[in-house]
Amino acid sequence: MDKTKVDDMLIEMITPKVKQIEEKFGNGEGLTQDDINTLLLKSQYNHINHLDKKLDEVTSDVASLKGEFQTFKAEIIASNEQTKREIQESINSTMKWYIGSAGIVLVVLKALDLFVK
């Protein structure tokens, strides 16, 4: 997800406070509840940004998979059509051979019938 002006404003507002808290903590001073809440807000904001980036990655992966699936689907359909054509050609060829063979058998039987009489 794209960051908004509100996101940028929030970061600008808490960044100086976070630096103060880091200095305070670095000097060994204790943190107030307000300091802790500010750090929690910053960490949650970072976490949400991380999740947004992951969501963007997943969304783009899904979009990519949709494209790949459409390509795969088109290939399967084309393959099925080619297979149907090949089966039909095979059936037609086999029928021609059967009809031709039956015709030859009839001619041979008729010739034998004529010669036997």
pLDDT in tens, 52-111: 899 999 999 999 999 999 999 999 999 999 999 999 999 999 999 999 999 999 999 999
Residue 116 resides in a domain: no
pLDDT at 3 over 70: no
Residues in CB range of 25: below 8 A, 6 or more apart? 31
Residue 68 resides in a domain: yes
Confidence bin at 4 (pLDDT 50/70/90) = low
Residue 113 resides in a domain: no
Contact 35, 18 (CB under 8 A): no
Residue 38 resides in a domain: yes
pLDDT in tens, 30-68: 889 998 998 898 888 888 888 989 999 999 999 999 999
pLDDT at 2 over 60: no
Of 16, 75, 74, nearest to 42 by C-alpha is 16
* Helix boundaries (H) for 3-32: 5-26
Q: Which domain holds residue 68?
A: 5-87
pLDDT at position 92, please?
97
For the chain, what is the domain count? 1
List the Cα angle 62/67/68 in 5-degree steps: 95
Distance from CA of residue 86 to its chain's centroid? 31
Supply 71's token pair.
Answer: 């390509």
pLDDT at 25 over 90: no
